[in-house]
Amino acid sequence: MTRLEDKVAIITGATGGIGKAATELFLKEGANVLMVDLNEDDLVEVSKEINSNKLSYFQGDVTLLSDNQKAVDLAKERYGGLDIFIANAGVAGEILPITEYDEKTFDRVMEVNAKGPFLGLKAAIPALSERGGGSVVITSSVAGLTGASLLSPYVMSKHAVVGLTKSAARECAEMNIRVNSVNPSPVETKMMRILEDGISEVNGEENAKEAFEGQIPLGRYADASEIAKLMLFLSGDESEFITGSVHTIDGGFTA
């Protein structure tokens, strides 16, 4: 028996590095997966690449309650319910001092990274409750635990996720819905290329990746598959007494 046999999972930000890795792993472990992302071309490409009859997708914007609700309704229609909600969609924003940061970009970072998981929970909680409980995993970051210059909006949004995780865990416990966050250090994804380029441009850093890796005791970025494994653990029965917890997966970065 696989660890998520016949479970139903929604994964937002599903075509990015972590989202795709989680989608592949959850399918391997027996789940039915509904991928959610903003770009339909990316969703089609990933669907063709994975090629599973237990996989489908919904093109939607996590900052809209209506799209979150449509995703949940679609999961129920196609697979009979919802057991796992992975709130993974996120954006990095710009690499700039507070005094130079554009307000519209700030709003977008907060909308996707903080409002998105909140609206996802709002839509998912009733469906999870109907199944007698379930698991929610929200992607935060080590930036949700520490500060970082030139990344204030991103850091704010990821701290907000930690607050949401702890509050929702208390609120949902009586429904047997567990809520946890994963807080990675840099991961080998497209988002890190954006951050590296931004840091290089602002600070004149010749090799931003080496600078980031130098702050990690294990000396490297995480692989997206390693984050997906933690999400799998938090989504399955092996973590049935874990809720409201912040799970760093950072190679010792915050040690």
For residue 154, indicate whether it is catalytic: yes
> What would the 3-class secondary structure string for 12-45 be?
ECCCCHHHHHHHHHHHHCCCEEEEEECCHHHHHH
Helices (H), the chain: 17-28, 40-50, 65-79, 103-110, 116-130, 152-172, 190-203, 208-213, 224-235
Cα–Cα separations (whole angstroms), residue 255 to 44, 121, 180, 217: 40, 30, 20, 9
Question: Which among 57, 79, 101, 154 is annotated as catalytic?
Answer: 154
- Strands of the sheet containing 32-37, edge to edge, are 55-59, 32-37, 8-12, 84-87, 134-139, 177-184, 246-249
Angle between helices 40-50 and 17-28 (to 10 degrees): 40
Rounded distance between C-alpha atoms, residue 29 and residue 45, angstroms: 22
Q: Is 136 exposed, middle or buried (0-12, 13-18, 19+ CB in 10 A)?
A: buried
Residue 251 makes CB contacts below 8 A (sequence gap 6+) with 185, 216, 217, 218, 219, 220, 222
The angle subtended at Cα 16 by Cα 11 and Cα 18, nearest 5°, is 70
Contact 250, 184 (CB under 8 A): yes
Catalytic residues: 154
